[in-house]
Amino acid sequence: MPNVQPKRCTWVNVDHVLMREYHDREWGVPAHDDPRHFEFLILEAAQAGLSWSIVLNKRKGYSRAFSDFNPEKVARYSAARIDKLTTDPGIIRNRLKIAAAVKNAKAAGEPIPCRKVVNISSLAGTGGNAGQANYSAAKAGVTGLTKALAKEWGRYNVTVNAVAFGMIKTRLTEAPAGAGATIDVAGRAIKVGVNPDVLTALEQSIPLGRGGSPAEAAGAVYLLCTPESDYVSAQTLICGGGLNF
């Protein structure tokens, strides 16, 4: 059989042995160990403004200079050690890049802070609402999105929750329907207003006997952003004064 060359990306210089081997054996191959991740974090940062071939030529020098890419050891590098590395011909002698590698190593040993995502939904999404099939479907979708993202992002210490609002009094509800009231949204006059009888009936069905304020609505979101909620995820908090369809 003829000697068939493997198909390679256009950025590969086939005459450059290290580049060719990197493409054939490493590029696009998943890596799952911390030293390998740390190695590429250092090498790719070092490459900034340069070419990947230059970094590959110095790869062994980087392995020697950065303790075989052991982040625990690199995290203990002193200022004097960093000064020494700026004179090491086996690596790219850029002080900022060297210092960044040490800083990243220190960060690798720190606990990942819990980050928060809070989606906004509605009681129409949790229980449906007659006459609002489209709105209810959209808000119910937020619940599904919340649960899916909580499962996907939990590994990154990210919590994903939602707040489903009931009746919240805003400028949209202040004017009675048919009164011709409008609000300005990005230069557009938007008609607002709700039938007062509808508002009265709705408030009477709320156990707390009133609609909520914007500050109270914001408070529900805030609850899911506090450290006390770090172990709460994939939940929908109902902010409706006790009303639940």
Strands, E assignment, the chain: 115-122, 158-165, 182-185, 188-191, 236-239
Query: pLDDT category, 191, cuts 50, 70, 90?
Result: confident
Q: Rounded CA gap, 82 and 99, in Å? A: 7
Q: What pLDDT was estimated at residue 192?
A: 78
Q: What pLDDT was estimated at residue 179?
A: 67
State which residues form the domain around 33: 17-108
pTM for the structure as a whole: 0.59
Q: How many residues are given for the chain?
A: 245
Domain presence at residue 219:
yes
Q: What pLDDT was estimated at residue 182?
A: 82
Residue 245 has pLDDT above 80, yes or no: no
Please state the rounded mean pLDDT for residues 35-41: 92
Please state the rounded mean pLDDT for residues 205-223: 96
The question of whether 26 is a catalytic residue gets the answer no
Provide the domain count of the chain: 2
Catalytic residue (choose from 11, 21, 26, 44): 44
Q: Are residues 156 and 54 in the same domain?
A: no
Domain presence at residue 191:
no
Please state the rounded mean pLDDT for residues 208-224: 96
The question of whether 22 is a catalytic residue gets the answer yes
The question of whether 52 is a catalytic residue gets the answer yes
Domain boundary residue, one of 108, 141, 175: 108
